[in-house]
């Protein structure tokens, strides 16, 4: 079946054309785009004139070219890469951080960019596994520079070093929802950093993380104190703190430059 790349109506949409297996449909609020399984790239973001699918065109926290879909061949299919400042929320609790990539499984995948607690932007994606029902969508100035998200939290240099160590596995993006490092592991990584200005141990690491947790709790972030998560606590408080710092782009993969190359 011949199927050329083509523009689609934005959400809500009534019907999309028949397409071969492997075709990707990407839909935003203004318009969508469909591409067959060939070595194309498909862009979405704030700059209406430079992307296939505009999203968040009046929200300067969304990057002008926030994400890109690339076809890697019949054995690998379509991949999503986050080129934006803000993470892209995938189904469940998974976050795709800036510069990270993820393979897309056939079927429907909603992508959400949360620019603040009040604003979020939906991009709907469907990759056809086998020919079947037509996919359906659910419901500033693009040339302006991208501004930082309004919820970025201030961290001192020592706090950033410790929290980057604590969140190292998440920042490296090797696994979905990886556990944080232990206090001992975090102290060892922080002490190995060329940017360390003091000697860290388990207690000083724990005190630093607790101080940041309480500060964010006072700002209204939920799930950072024991009373809000219940028993057993385990690593839940650290996991929730890391998630908030990643979601707000307070921490990102660029912070890994603070750490030594190997554990």
> Domain with 72 in it: what CATH number?
2.60.200.20
Q: What share of the chain is helix, strand, coil (3-state, %, to 5)?
A: 25, 20, 55
Question: How far is C-alpha 197 from the geometric centre of its chain's CA atoms?
Answer: 31
Looking at the domain assignment, is residue 100 inside a domain? yes
Interatomic CA distance for residues 254 and 263, integer angstroms: 17
Q: What is the rounded average pLDDT for all residues in the chain?
A: 86
Q: 178 and 112, same structural domain?
A: no
Interatomic CA distance for residues 20 and 1, integer angstroms: 6
The residue segments making up the domain with residue 22 are 6-127
Higher pLDDT, 263 or 95: 95
- Mean pLDDT of the 17-44 span: 91
Q: 174 and 116, same structural domain?
A: no
Asked if 101 and 80 count as a contact pair (C-beta separation under 8 A), the reply is yes
Interatomic CA distance for residues 206 and 26, integer angstroms: 43
In this prediction, residue 163 carries a pLDDT of: 97
Interatomic CA distance for residues 173 and 217, integer angstroms: 26
Interatomic CA distance for residues 61 and 47, integer angstroms: 12
Asked which of 82, 107, 127 is the last residue of a domain, the reply is 127
In this prediction, residue 136 carries a pLDDT of: 40
Q: 82 and 29, same structural domain?
A: yes
Higher pLDDT, 155 or 134: 155
- Of 23-27, 158-162, 181-185, 218-222, the poorest mean pLDDT is in 218-222
Locate 238 and state its tokens: 């650290």
92 confidence band (pLDDT: 50, 70, 90): confident
Q: 57 and 120, same structural domain?
A: yes
Residue 252's CB is within 10 A of a number of other CB atoms, namely 20
Locate 199 and state its tokens: 């000697």
Asked which of 105, 127, 149 is the last residue of a domain, the reply is 127
Higher pLDDT, 115 or 116: 115
Residue 139 has pLDDT above 70, yes or no: no
Looking at the domain assignment, is residue 13 inside a domain? yes
Looking at the domain assignment, is residue 209 inside a domain? yes
Looking at the domain assignment, is residue 138 inside a domain? no
Looking at the domain assignment, is residue 76 inside a domain? yes
- Of 11-25, 47-61, 116-130, 249-263, the poorest mean pLDDT is in 11-25
Looking at the domain assignment, is residue 234 inside a domain? yes
Looking at the domain assignment, is residue 49 inside a domain? yes
Q: 161 and 120, same structural domain?
A: no
Interatomic CA distance for residues 104 and 227, integer angstroms: 38
Interatomic CA distance for residues 95 and 249, integer angstroms: 11
* Number of domains the chain contains: 2
Q: 173 and 113, same structural domain?
A: no
Residue 44 has pLDDT above 90, yes or no: yes
């Amino acid at each position: 079946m011949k199927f050329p790349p083509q523009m689609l109506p934005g959400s809500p949409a009534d019907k999309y054309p028949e397409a071969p297996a492997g075709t990707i449909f990407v839909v935003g609020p203004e318009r969508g785009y469909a591409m067959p399984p060939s070595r194309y790239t498909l862009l979405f973001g704030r700059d209406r004139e430079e992307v296939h699918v505009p999203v968040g065109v009046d929200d300067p926290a969304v990057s002008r070219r926030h994400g890109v879909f690339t076809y890697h061949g019949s054995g690998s299919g379509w991949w999503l890469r986050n080129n934006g400042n803000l993470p892209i929320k995938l189904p469940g609790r998974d976050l795709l951080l800036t510069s990270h990539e993820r393979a897309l499984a056939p079927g429907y995948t909603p992508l959400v960019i949360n620019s603040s607690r009040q604003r979020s932007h939906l991009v709907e994606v469907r990759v056809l596994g086998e020919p079947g029902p037509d996919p359906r969508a659910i419901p500033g100035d693009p040339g302006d520079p991208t501004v930082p998200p309004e919820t970025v939290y201030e961290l001192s240099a020592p706090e950033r070093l410790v929290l980057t160590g604590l969140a190292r596995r998440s920042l490296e993006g090797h696994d979905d929802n990886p556990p944080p490092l232990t206090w001992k592991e975090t102290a060892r990584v922080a002490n190995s950093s060329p940017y360390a200005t003091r000697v860290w141990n388990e207690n000083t690491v724990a005190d630093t993380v607790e101080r940041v947790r309480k500060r964010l709790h006072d700002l209204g972030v939920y799930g950072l104190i024991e009373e809000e998560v219940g028993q057993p606590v385990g690593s839940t408080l650290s996991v929730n703190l890391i998630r908030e710092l990643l979601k707000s782009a307070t921490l990102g993969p660029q912070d890994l430059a603070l750490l030594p190359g190997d554990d």
